[in-house]
Amino acid sequence: MQLRLGDTVPNFTQATTQGEIDFFEWAGNSWVILFSHPKDFTPVCTTELGEVAKLKPEFDKRNVKPIALSVDDVDSHNGWVGDILETQGSALNYPIIADPDKKVSDLYDMIHPNANAMVTVRSVFIIDPNKKLRLTLTYPPSTGRNFDEILRVIDSLQLTDNYSVATPANWTDGGDCVVVPSISTEEAKVKFPKGITELKPYLRMTPQPDK
């Protein structure tokens, strides 16, 4: 199954390091970041799991629940959790899905045969509270994921869901935003009282509306 942006993601019930979960029930009304790993005890992924544990307060602030996945079983995951604490100084504070039957991997198209038909690729899925897929990223094995960028994307998605703006290149929270093309400049002047800078008729900037 190939998932595309805007699709409703598939639900599943699966064992995790925090017990069996029904994914939709576990997610509740939160955003979710689901990120996959090819197998346990891999070096780059060990650093990533530790980093997400450290960033958990940042995800909490944004109403985002992190959850990881690897194709090994829960006993293996629990051994890996100990290594993460030892090497990264971070106790794991979110679940890792066990996927030895590759049920979730297949549902979310995490097996790319040309990369390796036996293991999941290192994907990231950002899922909104309506269970819609909002972002996918797939990384090569050699490159650790940039979780600051993932937080930046979440900030952009949450902002643009609530205001008639888009975010420009390299935007970070607090930066100027793009007025969406569907709003006329006259409408924008009313909607965004902080002001409009018209660089081109199609390119209008405004200070971030919620700051």
Question: pLDDT tens across 38-56, in order?
Answer: 889 999 999 999 999 999 9
Percent of the chain at pLDDT exceeding 70: 95
Q: What letter would DSSP give residue 12? A: -
Measured torsion, CA atoms of residues 161, 162, 165, 171, in degrees rounded to the nearest 10: -70
Question: Which residues, including other chains, have CB under 8 Å from residue 71's CB and lie 6 or more apart?
Answer: 38, 39, 99, 100, 102, 105, 119, 120
Ranges of H-type helices in 64-136: 74-88, 103-107, 113-116
pLDDT in tens, 97-113: 999 999 999 899 887 55
Q: Has residue 170 got a pLDDT over 90?
A: yes
Q: Which residue has the tokens 């980093």?
A: 51
Helix (H) or strand (E) segment spanning residue 150: helix 147-162
* Alpha-carbon gap, residue 168 to 100, rounded angstroms: 41
- Cα distances (angstroms) measured from residue 78 to each of 85, 162, 195: 11, 39, 53
Tell me the β-bridge partners of 165: 179
Mean pLDDT of 89-104: 95
pLDDT at 87 > cutoff 70: yes
Residue 120 has pLDDT above 60, yes or no: no
To the query of whether residue 45 is one of the catalytic residues in this protein, the response is yes
CA atoms within 13 A on the CB side of 90: 17
Q: What is the mean pLDDT of residues 167-189?
A: 96
Among 119, 206, 105, CA closest to 164: 206
Find out whether 199 and 205 touch, Cβ atoms under 8 Å.
Answer: yes
Question: What is the DSSP secondary structure assignment for residue 120, as one 8-state letter?
Answer: B
- All domains of the chain in start order, with CATH: 13-145 (3.40.30.10), 163-206 (3.30.1020.10)
Produce one character per residue of 123-148: b if its CB has 16 or more CB atoms within 10 Å, e if not.
Answer: bbbbbbeeeebbbeeebeeeeebebe
Dihedral Cα 211, 158, 182, 178, nearest 10 deg: 50
Indicate which residue of 9, 32, 34, 45 is catalytic: 45
